Amino acid sequence: MKSLRRMFGFVNPYRVKAIIALILLLGMVGADLLIPRLTQRIIDRGIAAQNMHVIASTALIMVGIALLSALFSVGNTILSVRVAQDFAADVRSAIVRKVQTFSFGSLDKLRTGKLLVRTTSDVNMVQSIVAMSLRILTRAPVWMVGSIIMLVLTSRRLSILMACFLPFIALAIILFMRKAQPLFLLVQKALDRLNGVLQENLAGMRLIKAFVRVGHEKERFDDANTKLMRKNISVMEMMAFLIPTMLLIVNLGVVGAVWFGGTSVISGRLTPGQLVASINYMSFALFPILMLAGMVGPLSAADASSARILEVLDTDADVKEKKDARSLEDVEGRVEFENVSFSYSRDGNDPVLKGINLVVKPGETVAILGATGAGKSSLIDLIPRFYDVSAGRVRIDGIDVRDIELHSLRTHIGLALQEAILFGGTIRDNICYGQPQASEEEIVAAAVAAQAHAFIIALPDGYDTKVGERGVTLSGGEKQRIAIARSLLVRPKILILDDSTSAVDVETEALLQDALDSLIAQSQHTTTRVIVAQRISTVLLADKIVVLDRGEIAATGTHADLLATSPIYQEIYRSQLGDGGAAHV
Amino acid sequence: MSREGSPQMPAGHGSGIPGPGGHGGRARIEKAHDPKGAVRRLLHYLRSQKWLLVIIIVFAAMSTILALFGPFLLGVAIDKAIKGAALRELLHVSLLMLGVYLGSWLTQIVQSVLMAKASQRAMRELRAHLFSHLQTLSLSFFDRHSHGDLMSRLTNDMDNISRVLSQNATQLFTGFLTLFGILAMMFALSPYLALGSMLVFPLMFALVAVVGKRTRKWYRGLQAKIGQLNGQLVEMYSGQRVIIAFGQQGTTLKRFDVANESVRQMGIRAQTYAMLMPPLLGILSNANIAVVAGLGGWMTLRGMASVGIIAAFIMYSRRFAQPLRQLANLYNQIQAALAGAERIFEIIDTVPEISDLPDAIELGQIAGAVVFDHVSFSYVPDVPILKDISLAVKPGQAIALVGPTGAGKTTIVNILTRFYDIDSGAISIDGVDIRGVSRDSLRQQLGIVLQSTFLFSESAMENIRYGRLDASDEEVIAAATLANADQFIRRLPYGYDTLLTERGGNLSEGQRQLMAIARAVLADPRILILDEATSSVDTRTEVSIQSALLKLMHGRTSFVIAHRLSTIRNADQVLVIDNGRVVERGNHDELIAKRGFYYRLYMSQFRGGSKQRVVSRLS
């Protein structure tokens, strides 16, 4: 329960409300506890003494107390709901704010699905425990202790009886805690396993069909399904035994009170009123156990949720801004890699880039070519500081990127990532994502250059067409072109295209490159271009082509240079463009 | 989306928060369209346990009724004690009470244990039914439904149903029984005092009805707000890299804060209403105790009641609120479960668009001759993708499919495998129309290597064995060796026993392709379908893949969606597809000589465009 306890730190700002809620709760319990005593008064002083006045006045007092308790209770509810909702909103906000400080390294670890579960159902789970802790979780033990005190005050004799039951109750609780929590965990595991099988089944549906492996899949599913059933049954059986048993303990207490109390009444050592009140207190004292028994499941679930939330909150920002970081003004666009090595693991094992030295002059176009896994994306991810280098340094205009304010650094860089992610909203919203105040002309110009204008205006609502779940479905190439338009609109000093035309056909890509050339030629400032590609045709025109192979620069030069000198480049060229030289031209 | 088991809401809060996944962005109105139908169909899953259910109902009734006698006997005992009766009589009543409580305890345990079994068996059956039905649905179904949506139906909806079956159904029954039982007991004990209590009970009903209705209304509002927030979170988290790249964290937070705040506000309203119910009911039952004590005391003075009756009434009053509160919650939970059940039945009722004909034959050992005869196909009606495609491939021939993106090359694969059925024309293998054979026997003859290789989170060995489940370890290794995969697999931390991940994080793209080739080698199909991956692997792996593919294609009929010039050159036939039609056919040299579409495509895609651009640049 350590994680859950830590999460309660988020209640701190609302502690005044929480404390008032708890005080009201005490008042409420106190009022409730008075009711049996007043019943006793009616029976002993009213009925036994044949005094109608006492009966009437006591009943009125009881009504008054009920109303008072109502008032406390409403106040408690209002406050505790507020505290819980404030808590939830704060935790959600803390998670989201934390995520906004993440760079790519943290996102690799905490993927969309994980983050989502943590921000939604996990927060919710903990929130409901916070609400309950200001209500039944506190009320139950207070009620229990209060009832025992009242029982002692009402009848010593019967409280001794009660004392005999306490060990059994304690035993039942301990047994329950010990048995229940592990069982709930097992159910959760079985459920995760079932979901895992499902997930894979859905993701691999094509393959499963292609290989006619439905039978195999059904076996896997049946296995997980049956296990889940068994675990569910075992938890439910335990609850099926424990809850009636606890109820039985309460009822045995009542029977005991009836017998011992009854004999005491007969022998005159107990008044009838005391007997009735005692029986009430006894069931008061024992009922909270039942309530608490129902809380074990939610409590352990909330603790697990807390741990998951804290995992996000405890994640250190992988890329930190220095306190004295400077902002970039008037960028020329010179990019330098100096002895750069990079590894995704913190200990520097399995480096994906080794000893990279590269200078990109302002206005130059550099293409990075190489196989998947050669380190192309890793290399360009270091420029906007999505990751930090493991060794060496990356400099822009001579300044180490780690000395630059992150926001300032990234606003000078336009980037189209490999996977073109578009947001919900219109195509226009998407294009001007990085520059919300862009004019219509600018948006259209960017789209034209990205070879996106033609297909956009062919869409039903043109630039106002909605994309995403309920909007039109765009092809991979179309999405990529919108993403490129988006990166052009910010008028970057450094434009990075990370294999962002992979789904665009070669002819369109050629047009795009030409358009890009003229767009850049027209603009007032130079733009340095870094293009990652797998197709030779994409990189042909670059001022400099860098061939990456397994994390190292294998060759650098123009197309002609490399074709003459680099065996790897020749190989790539042959495999893509054929070996027949000018045979058919 | 939610790629992990999300903890569910505890019972009693079932109407709360839709999980992440399918519900993002839309408000879920939790109401079944045809509750009766959903109930009837759910009961269907319990039918094999009819007698168990009868026993459960009998035991539930017994346990409830027995428990109701407790306070009654308590009253009797108190009256006897006050009247100074003999200890024997008191002992008898006490023992009777003990017996009643023990009986109630035992019957309740039996009932709950049986219910656990019955409900969980039914749930297993329902899950298995849904799952196996999903397996029969064609790919077009999965195109239309997001994984998130399907997962949500399989998890959240199932969970709601499970809760209703295992707990709420009995609660519904015992709740009503308790309410009427208490009223009956009260009237039996003292009709006048019972009438007195009736002053408060209707208030309780009214409270439950009014507050319950309000709560539902606010909850619907809350769900809508949560839906909006979840939708925003999905988008935000999945686009987080773009947010970072464009430095838009600030605006993102602003948008989030608005949605977060409105969830908070709505949450306060909805929860306040929901949580007010239990304490308010408690207050009313306290008020009732005052009425009982006052009125009862007055009646006792007039000899119309007794202290024992008052005591029994007090116990009954306290018990009255609980089933009432349960029933109020049940309404929401049962509605949510029935709505979930409808979503599940919606899948189960989806008729597979492609199913085997009743007289479908099993395709036996084939030679591998494939003929497309004037085939047309569309995914969406009126948007034809393939138009009048005809082709003939002799056994053992390789045919390369070439054309621009979106021309329909992949679609040819999809219809040959009968992932989709064609609109008109016919496809035959060895002269047999593939619509007349069972899909399973058809696909067993086909080996498919898809562009993106899916790996299961199992060992490398098992992933290859997926090609043929009864293959021995030696056969798997032999296949891996032929596919040039053996070497790198042995270099993995645990060799063939290394656990792979779904996205194949521990393997490179090229290595995953080799895994897929090994699978196909193991399956040893007569017809091979290769969706050649675009040149995305390092040159050394590329060479491995090329040679593995050549070995694999040897002696088999092969359809290759070709991206590599070498593949196209080696093919017996090249089919040039544009806009859903075969525009040219022949071998590479013939097509080049033709100087037609292929020539132009080749020029731009492989040589010409680049060449021209180089020239223009150099000049």
CATH number at residue B561: 3.40.50.300
pLDDT of A120 strictly over 70: yes
Please, which pLDDT band fits residue A87 given cuts at 50, 70 and 90? very high
Neighbours of A345 (CB within 10 A): 11
What is the reported pLDDT for A577?
62
Residue B565 lies in a domain: yes
B210 and B181 inside one domain: no
pLDDT of B617 strictly over 50: no
Q: Which range among A61-75, A425-439, B506-520, B605-619 shows the weakest confidence by mean pLDDT?
A: B605-619
Residue B252 lies in a domain: yes
pLDDT of A294 strictly over 60: yes
Q: CATH number of the domain that B150 lies in? A: 1.20.1560.10
Three-state SS for B240-259 is HHHHHHCCCHHHHHHHHHHH
Q: Which of A288-297, A465-474, B412-421 is predicted most confidently?
A: B412-421
Question: How many beta-carbon contacts under 8 Å exist across A and B?
Answer: 512
What is the reported pLDDT for A529?
92
What is the reported pLDDT for A482?
92
Q: Residues B500-514: what's their mean pLDDT? A: 71
| Short-list A334, A476, A479, CA closest to A412 | A334
Tell which wins on pLDDT, B277 or B308.
B308
Please, which pLDDT band fits residue A49 given cuts at 50, 70 and 90? confident
- Kindly report the nearest CA distance between residue B286 and chain A, in angstroms: 6
pLDDT tens for each residue of B75-104: 988 888 888 777 888 899 999 999 999 999
What class, spelled out in words, does domain A2-313 have in CATH? mainly alpha
Q: Return the domain boundaries, chain A.
A: 2-313, 419-491+493-526
CB contact under 8 A, B280 and A74: yes
CB contact under 8 A, A32 and B286: yes
Tell which wins on pLDDT, B423 or A180.
B423
In angstroms, rounded to a whole number, what is the distance separating the alpha carbons of residues B427 and B417?
Answer: 10
Residue type, B411: T
Tell which wins on pLDDT, A482 or B142.
A482
B224 touches chain A (CB under 8 A): no
B79 and B184 inside one domain: yes
B124 and B64 inside one domain: yes
What is the reported pLDDT for A342?
92
Residue B7 lies in a domain: no
Q: Give how far Cα A512 sits from Cα of A451, A488, A493, B407, Å.
A: 6, 12, 18, 21
Distance of CA A118 to the CA centre of its chain: 3
Q: Please name the residues in contact with A332: beta carbons below 8 A apart, sequence gap of 6 or more.
A: A362, A397, A493, A526
- For the record, the structure tokens of A369 come out as 């070519």
Q: Residues A138-159: what's their mean pLDDT? A: 89
CB contact under 8 A, A469 and B25: yes
Task: List chain B residues with CB under 8 Å of A301.
Answer: 7-8, 10
pLDDT tens for each residue of A367-379: 998 876 788 888 9
What is the reported pLDDT for B370?
92
B158 and B78 inside one domain: yes
CB contact under 8 A, A59 and B565: no
Q: What percent of chain A has pLDDT over 90?
A: 34
Please, which pLDDT band fits residue B505 given cuts at 50, 70 and 90? low
Q: Which range among A196-210, A273-287, B265-279, B369-383 shows the weakest confidence by mean pLDDT?
A: A196-210
pLDDT tens for each residue of A240-271: 888 888 888 888 888 888 888 888 888 888 89
Please say whether the beta carbons of B137 and B145 come within 8 A. Answer: no
Q: Residues A132-161: what's their mean pLDDT? A: 89
B410 and B452 inside one domain: no
Could you say which of B474, B499, B524 is where a domain stops?
A: B524
Residue B135 lies in a domain: yes
Residue B550 lies in a domain: no
CB contact under 8 A, A232 and B454: no
Q: What is the pTM (predicted TM-score) of this model?
A: 0.77
B122 and B215 inside one domain: no
In angstroms, rounded to a whole number, what is the distance separating the alpha carbons of residues A76 and A88?
Answer: 18
What is the reported pLDDT for A458?
85
| Short-list A560, A245, A170, A539, CA closest to A369 | A539
Residue B315 lies in a domain: no
What is the reported pLDDT for A419?
76
CA dihedral A139, A144, A149, A152 (to 10 degrees): 160
B321 touches chain A (CB under 8 A): no
B208 and B166 inside one domain: no
**Looking at chain B from residue 463 to 502, which residues have their Cβ under 8 Å from any Cβ of chain A?**
466-467, 469, 502
Tally the domains of chain B.
4
- For the record, the structure tokens of B480 come out as 């891996």
CB contact under 8 A, B605 and A506: yes
Residue B259 lies in a domain: yes
What is the reported pLDDT for B537?
62
B37 and B160 inside one domain: yes
CA dihedral A190, A191, A194, A195 (to 10 degrees): -150
What is the reported pLDDT for A12?
94
Q: What percent of chain B has pLDDT over 70?
A: 89
Please, which pLDDT band fits residue A223 given cuts at 50, 70 and 90? very high
- Kindly report the nearest CA distance between residue B392 and chain A, in angstroms: 22
pLDDT of B493 strictly over 90: no
In angstroms, rounded to a whole number, what is the distance separating the alpha carbons of residues A478 and A392?
Answer: 38
Please, which pLDDT band fits residue B31 given cuts at 50, 70 and 90? low
In angstroms, rounded to a whole number, what is the distance separating the alpha carbons of residues B218 and B270?
Answer: 5
Q: Residues B466-491: what's their mean pLDDT? A: 89
pLDDT tens for each residue of B239-278: 888 888 888 888 889 989 999 999 999 999 988 888 888 7
Residue B113 lies in a domain: yes
Task: Locate the chain B residue with the closest alpha carbon to A184.
Answer: B7
pLDDT tens for each residue of A558-576: 888 988 998 888 877 776 6
In angstroms, rounded to a whole number, what is the distance separating the alpha carbons of residues A257 and A281?
Answer: 11
pLDDT of B229 strictly over 60: yes
Please, which pLDDT band fits residue B26 given cuts at 50, 70 and 90? very low
Task: List chain A residues with CB under 8 Å of B419.
Answer: 206, 209
Instruction: Say which CATH topology domain A419-491+493-526 has.
Output: Rossmann fold (3.40.50)
B199 touches chain A (CB under 8 A): no
**Looking at chain B from residue 573 to 602, which residues have their Cβ under 8 Å from any Cβ of chain A?**
592, 602
In angstroms, rounded to a whole number, what is the distance separating the alpha carbons of residues A116 and A104?
Answer: 17
B374 and B470 inside one domain: no
- Please compute, for residue A324, the number of CA atoms within 13 A of its CA located in the half-sphere on the CB side: 1
Q: Residues A310-334: what's their mean pLDDT? A: 87
B304 touches chain A (CB under 8 A): no
pLDDT tens for each residue of B583-595: 888 888 888 888 8
DSSP A269-306: SS-HHHHHHHHHHHHHHHHHHHHHHTTHHHHHHHHHHH
CB contact under 8 A, A248 and B84: no
Q: Please name the residues in contact with A84: beta carbons below 8 A apart, sequence gap of 6 or more.
A: A127, A128, A130, A131, A134, B271
Task: List chain B residues with CB under 8 Å of A191.
Answer: 5, 155
CA dihedral A14, A17, A22, A26 (to 10 degrees): 170
**Looking at chain B from residue 329 to 388, which residues have their Cβ under 8 Å from any Cβ of chain A?**
none
Q: Please name the residues in contact with A300: beta carbons below 8 A apart, sequence gap of 6 or more.
A: A180, A181, A184, A185
- Kindly report the nearest CA distance between residue B595 and chain A, in angstroms: 10
Q: Residues B547-557: what's their mean pLDDT? A: 86
B293 touches chain A (CB under 8 A): yes
CB contact under 8 A, A537 and B609: yes
pLDDT tens for each residue of B171-189: 889 999 999 999 999 999 9
pLDDT of B604 strictly over 70: no
B53 and B172 inside one domain: yes
What is the reported pLDDT for A33?
92
Task: List chain B residues with CB under 8 Å of A541.
Answer: 613-614, 617
Structure letter (DSSP) for residue A515: H
CB contact under 8 A, A206 and B249: no
Could you say which of B189, B217, B239 is where a domain stops?
A: B189
Q: What percent of chain A has pLDDT over 70?
A: 97
Q: Residues B347-351: what's their mean pLDDT? A: 87
Beta-bridge partner residues of B361: B437
- Average model confidence (pLDDT) across chain A: 86
Residue type, A553: I
What is the reported pLDDT for B611?
46
Please, which pLDDT band fits residue B30 given cuts at 50, 70 and 90? low
Tell which wins on pLDDT, B279 or A277.
A277
pLDDT of B481 strictly over 60: yes
Q: Please give the residue range of the domain that contains residue B262.
A: 191-304
- Kindly report the nearest CA distance between residue B38 and chain A, in angstroms: 22
B291 touches chain A (CB under 8 A): yes
Q: Give how far Cα A31 sits from Cα of A66, A68, B310, B506, Å.
A: 7, 7, 20, 64
pLDDT of A468 strictly over 80: no
What is the reported pLDDT for A242?
82
Largest distance between two CA atoms of chain A: 123
pLDDT of A466 strictly over 60: yes
B38 and B178 inside one domain: yes
